[in-house]
Structure 1
Amino acid sequence: MKQKMDSWKRRWLWLVQALELKGASTFISIDPPAQEQEIAEVESRLRIQLPEEFRSLLMDGSGKVLVYWSLPCETIKPFDVSGEIGWGTDQLCFSDFADEEMEAQRRYLTFHVAGNGDELLLDLSSPSGTSVVHWAHETAEFRLLAPTMTAFVDRVTELGCVGAEEWQYPYFCGEFGLDLESENSRRWKAWLHQYLTLTLEQAQEELSLLITYTEMNGVDKKVGAAFARYDGEEVLRAWLKRAKAEEDLNQIDALMCCAGDILKENAADLVRSLWSEAPAVNVSHSIRAYLSARCLPEGEGLKRVLEMLDASAKQNKLSGYEANSVLQPFGSRRVLEWMEDKVSFPYSGWDTLYVHSQPSVSDIVHWLSAKDVQRQIVISALSILPEDYVLFNSDVEAQQVRNLLEQALDTAVLKKEKQAIRKALEKLA
């Protein structure tokens, strides 16, 4: 087991270091082997003798392990996964699974609790005594992952330590647990290897590779410069070809966002087609709005989105969340003019949109003096302004807004409203 542990440790450390270089959030902790006394205390507490294989893992490998990673949000990955593998003598217990009868069976020994509350278990009744099972705390479903603990760590390590929440494993599981030879597993391993090794210098020599690199790493100035080496129409066709090859709608949305960020106004005609009855590619309403803000002249893009919202409002009450999801990318004060007579309680979402619409002092003064719902929205918006948002150009402007807030505080009746006003005043202090 010591040789196994040394091999796993080398691979985990390389993985975590490589992921850190890509901007991933990572954590790794590997304790020394557990001592005999520690194991004896655990067995006494549990009133069982640990399976020999698991005992060896703890005493010859490590008494406690945690490896975790999460990729940057801009990474477009083929499966919705992150990484988490671990065990520890301090986590060993017999969970109740909200079922007293199952707890009494003392069949499943928990060795790791995932961040969302799911559990990794040893099935003590299995032929090996260490068959690894995942338990999903929301659905109370059990899923076989491997016939032994050693096989489980081997397989998960090969997959880049994916886990340990319920939606992570199904992509890679077959009848007998994690299947390293399945189509999805092969695809994921190839993707992860390329993600960790492909450089911009290599990618920029081939347009399709450059698109792959951008999917994996997002758009920045260096990526933009690499695309600038190619003909704009060629780049547009390549992005469209890539998007049309994808079946998952969320993936298509993400790809088209990247395309818009790269092409900008060069994708204007493509974006206009998205508003037609025969779009070049199907995207969600929010992504269509984002691309309109990114690639069309502001007047044209905003006009299209506002007309869409007005049509929607005729069918159903317009929510702040719906409006914010499509208007936030514009960051335009013109949105404030449109939304003034559209807002309503509850105002959640509207306050966020207000912040993103670049309000001026005159806008804030106007809304603080308007109807109750407008006043509540701007008060909430003031309390969530970004720290770097420059609102006031003079002390006179700042005092004018504070005076209006203090007047609102004097007339406020509800405790919740008073708290919101005080929070806004603290923000402007």
Structure 2
Amino acid sequence: MEYSEVIENWKHFAERIKLLGGSVQAFAIEEPATQDEVADLEKQLGLDLPTSLKEVLLEFSKKVEFRWFMADDFELGSPFSQIFSGDRHWSLEWLVQFNNAKDNWKNEVFPNKDDSYDVIWHNKLAFHEVGNGDYLAIDLSEPDKEPIVYLSHDDGEGHGVELARNFKDFLFLTSRLGCVGGEDWQWLPFIENGRQYLNPDCQNAANFREALGLDA
């Protein structure tokens, strides 16, 4: 997939949401970051950015906002009944803010690396603030691996689930699902039978697009 296809997917979802009476509250894609901006970000974060995230920032965009909401009277059947929005956002500034906030949760609430729940919050780079205290993050625990994981602050079903192999794959996969909202109950229908990673080709994904009047 190319970045241009990501944008086209977003446009198609935005058009359908509006036709169904919903609202698109943000659709903005800024220019790519410069090497100097990325270097400054790494200095602020105190780490080297994961390769896939750096690639997207340098080749696609340094700031993205894509956010939509279903119409209040539009109902999706099971297993999509809890899907009400789509959201993809990141920026150089937000990466710093989100990680400071994530570290507060980690240090104050989940400090114990020997605890199986707490440890999920450690060695992570948050890139998406869900808005309910949860985060989407890149796992930095293993060299040469950059899986996208969900950080739940309140025993959410998605805690620790891997959504994609890396940030670039996450961008591509979720573009075919309209960037369904960050809350785990919105995207879990697209992870089949406990398998790793979102699957935009699964039956649920095809049914979801069909329900919105989109081609599979």
Normalising by structure 1, what TM-score?
A: 0.42
The answer on 1:118 being equivalent to 2:134 is yes
Mapped to 2, the partners of 1:108 and 1:30 lie a distance apart of 25
Residue equivalent to 1:143 = 161
> Does structure 1 retain, via aligned residues, the 8 Å contact 2:20–2:74?
no
Describe the superposition over 1:92-126 as per-residue Cα deviations: whole angstroms up to 9, x where unpaired.
22623322345998511001102323211011224
Describe the superposition over 1:252-304 as per-residue Cα deviations: whole angstroms up to 9, x where unpaired.
xxxxxxxxxxxxxxxxxxxxxxxxxxxxxxxxxxxxxxxxxxxxxxxxxxxxx
Describe the superposition over 1:153-209 as per-residue Cα deviations: whole angstroms up to 9, x where unpaired.
1211111211211211211113112123333222212222x2x58xxxxxxxxxxxx
The answer on 1:90 being equivalent to 2:99 is no
Letter in structure 1 aligned against 2:199: D
Aligned residue for 2:89, secondary structure, equals strand
Residue equivalent to 1:154 = 172
Mapped to 1, the partners of 2:144 and 2:70 lie a distance apart of 35
Taking the TM superposition and a 5 Å limit, the aligned residue runs for 1:333-348 are none
> Does structure 1 retain, via aligned residues, the 8 Å contact 2:64–2:89?
yes
1:99 to 100, 110, 113: 110
1:109 to 115, 122, 125: 125
Letter in structure 2 aligned against 1:124: L
Residue equivalent to 2:28 = 29
Mapped to 2, the partners of 1:42 and 1:119 lie a distance apart of 19
Describe the superposition over 1:307-358 as per-residue Cα deviations: whole angstroms up to 9, x where unpaired.
xxxxxxxxxxxxxxxxxxxxxxxxxxxxxxxxxxxxxxxxxxxxxxxxxxxx
Distance change in 2, residues 1:132/1:42 (3 Å): same
> Does structure 1 retain, via aligned residues, the 8 Å contact 2:161–2:196?
no
Taking the TM superposition and a 5 Å limit, the aligned residue runs for 1:23-422 are 23-26=21-24, 27-78=26-77, 79=80, 80-81=82-83, 82-92=85-95, 93=99, 95-96=102-103, 97=106, 98-101=109-112, 107-126=123-142, 128-139=144-155, 141-174=159-192, 175-192=195-212, 194=213
Distance change in 2, residues 1:128/1:163 (3 Å): farther
Mapped to 1, the partners of 2:16 and 2:210 lie a distance apart of 15
Mapped to 1, the partners of 2:131 and 2:27 lie a distance apart of 15
Distance change in 2, residues 1:49/1:112 (3 Å): same
Q: Which has the higher helix share?
A: 1
> Does structure 2 retain, via aligned residues, the 8 Å contact 1:88–1:112?
no
Aligned residue for 1:167, secondary structure, equals helix
Aligned residue for 2:7, secondary structure, equals helix
Normalising by structure 2, what TM-score?
A: 0.79
Letter in structure 2 aligned against 1:149: F
Residue equivalent to 1:244 = none
Shift in Å, 1:136: 2.0
Mapped to 2, the partners of 1:134 and 1:162 lie a distance apart of 14
Shift in Å, 1:83: 0.9
> Does structure 2 retain, via aligned residues, the 8 Å contact 1:54–1:130?
no
Mapped to 2, the partners of 1:181 and 1:31 lie a distance apart of 29
Aligned residue for 1:130, secondary structure, equals coil
Aligned residue for 2:183, secondary structure, equals coil
Runs of 5+ consecutive residues of structure 1 not aligned to the other structure: 198-429
Letter in structure 2 aligned against 1:40: A
Runs of 5+ consecutive residues of structure 2 not aligned to the other structure: none
> Does structure 2 retain, via aligned residues, the 8 Å contact 1:114–1:165?
yes
> Does structure 2 retain, via aligned residues, the 8 Å contact 1:122–1:130?
yes
Aligned length: 193
RMSD, aligned CA: 2.4
Mapped to 2, the partners of 1:70 and 1:172 lie a distance apart of 19
Distance change in 2, residues 1:126/1:69 (3 Å): farther
Percentage identity across paired residues of the two chains:
28
Q: Which has the higher strand share?
A: 2
> Does structure 2 retain, via aligned residues, the 8 Å contact 1:118–1:166?
no
Describe the superposition over 1:5-33 as per-residue Cα deviations: whole angstroms up to 9, x where unpaired.
22212221232133223321212121211
